[in-house]
Amino acid sequence: AQSVTQLGSHVSVSEGALVLLRCNYSSSVPPYLFWYVQYPNQGLQLLLKYTSAATLVKGINGFEAEFKKSETSFHLTKPSAHMSDAAEYFCAVSGRGSNYKLTFGKGTLLTVNP
């Protein structure tokens, strides 16, 4: 079984401030981990993914995430928020041998204040 918990359904930051979106996962097998972003009235697009190579993963738009096995975490960060980062962010897990199942967290809505 696999699951994802995103702490905080809504995060609000000021422009230029650090963005930290939290994701903890549960998987009985080695996981692939993903962060997707959804801009208003659009589909989801991949920000970054962890596939068992480097534990620090860099994605698009200046985002990065670090896989920490001991903490079962895959938090998403960006040093300096931009207004265009306002969107909903989803963490997802797919475990090795999970029959290609992708399980999403409930999402975190990021608001960026001027």
Partner 1 sequence: EAQVTQNPRYLITVTGKKLTVTCSQNMNHEYMSWYRQDPGLGLRQIYYSMNVEVTDKGDVPEGYKVSRKEKRNFPLILESPSPNQTSLYFCASSTLSSGGHTDTQYFGPGTRLTVL
26 counts as binding partner 1 under rule CB under 8 A: no
In the bound complex, what is the minimum distance in angstroms from residue 107's beta carbon to partner 1?
Answer: 5
Site string for partner 1, 55-74 (x = CB under 8 A): --------------------
If the CB atoms of residues 35 and 85 are measured against partner 1, the closer one turns out to be 35
User: Which of 58, 35, 32, 57 has its CA nearest to residue 45?
Assistant: 35
Q: Which residue lies nearer to partner 1 by CB, 51 or 61? A: 51
Give just the sign of the alpha carbon dihedral 53, 44, 4, 63. Answer: positive
- Tell me how far apart the alpha carbons of residues 73 and 103 are, in angstroms, rounded to a whole number: 15
Comparison of 14 and 58: residue with beta carbon closer to partner 1: 58
- Cβ atoms of 35 and 45 within 8 Å: the answer is no
Residue of the chain from 3, 14, 28, 51 that contacts partner 1 (CB under 8 A): 51
When asked if residue 84 is in the footprint of partner 1 (CB under 8 A), the reply is: no
The verdict on 101 binding partner 1 (CB under 8 A) reads: yes
Q: In Å, how far are 27, 41, 44, 67, 91 from 38, measured between CA atoms?
A: 24, 8, 5, 22, 11
CA dihedral 23, 28, 34, 36 (to 10 degrees): -60
Q: Which of 42, 70, 83, 84 contacts partner 1 by CB under 8 A?
A: 42
